[in-house]
Amino acid sequence: MSDGKSLFVIQRQAYMGSYGQAAALIPCDGEAGPSLVPIRAFTSKQAAEQECEKLEREAQHTIPFYRGFRDERCTPQRFQVVCQKVGLPVPKLETKAKHEFELAEKNAPIIAAWWAENLGENRAEMNARLWAEFFPTWRFYTVVESQLV
């Protein structure tokens, strides 16, 4: 490796871990910009992007999809649509609360119990599918070009 060489660095998005009282992954993306953690560097862009995709799939397999919920996406109507599409029973969610965050708090244990009971043997694959259905633009990892000094 020579100085001044381009490196392609995989970065992990940083998250805050709660939304009100419910545990959730909230991307750290304030007015100063997104907080990202460099985790691995490559001299080849293609190799970096391949590894990035692998890590993305791994995260979708291991992190429960409902950690992404914090707002209106956590509705019974949305669950109805997604569950029918992926062939899962629909959880019985609470529909009434004064504020959206209270609804998220009420429904967090219901969704977690439903997830634990209904995802079946192919849990990791189904969890990844639910990430993709509920959060199609969600990215845990990205690649950025940097210089080796």
Partner 1 sequence: MTTHFVVERLNWRWHEKGMIRHPGSTRVASFDKYEEAETLCQVKEQAARLRVNPFATVDTFAEVTTMPPNVYADWLQDHDIEPPAMPTATSGWFGWGKATSPPPIDWSAWWVKSKVNWSERQLLAAWEPLTNARFFIVNEKPKRDVVYAVVKVLWNYNDEWYYPGSEGGQLLHAYRSRERAEKECADWNAAERDVWRQQGADPDDMTRDMFLRYPFDMEERRFADENPFEQVRKPPQERDDDDDGGQFSVDEVPFFEVVELECEVTA
Could you tell me whether strands 6-13 and 36-42 are parallel, antiparallel, or unpaired per DSSP bridges?
Answer: antiparallel
Determine, following the binding rule CB under 8 A, whether residue 12 of this chain makes contact with partner 1: yes
Cβ nearer to partner 1, comparing 8 with 129: 8
Cβ nearer to partner 1, comparing 82 with 141: 141
Of 57, 64, 76, 78, the one binding partner 1 by CB under 8 A: 64
Determine, following the binding rule CB under 8 A, whether residue 140 of this chain makes contact with partner 1: yes
CA distance 71 to 65: 14
Of 63, 83, 124, 132, the one binding partner 1 by CB under 8 A: 63
Instruction: Tell me the window of 2-10, 75-83, 88-96, 124-132 that interacts with partner 1 (CB under 8 A).
Output: 2-10
State the DSSP H helix or E strand holding residue 8, giving kind and residue range, or none if neither: strand 6-13
Determine, following the binding rule CB under 8 A, whether residue 42 of this chain makes contact with partner 1: yes
DSSP 89: P
Number of Cβ within 10 Å of residue 50's Cβ equals: 13
Of 49, 57, 59, 106, the one binding partner 1 by CB under 8 A: 59
101, with CB counted inside 10 A (0-12, 13-18, 19+), is middle
State the DSSP H helix or E strand holding residue 119, giving kind and residue range, or none if neither: none
Query: Any bridge partners for residue 18, and if so which?
Result: 23
Determine, following the binding rule CB under 8 A, whether residue 146 of this chain makes contact with partner 1: yes
Determine, following the binding rule CB under 8 A, whether residue 116 of this chain makes contact with partner 1: yes
Determine, following the binding rule CB under 8 A, whether residue 124 of this chain makes contact with partner 1: no
Determine, following the binding rule CB under 8 A, whether residue 50 of this chain makes contact with partner 1: no
Cα angle 140, 9, 147 (rounded to 5 degrees) comes to: 150
Of 52, 74, 103, 108, the one binding partner 1 by CB under 8 A: 108
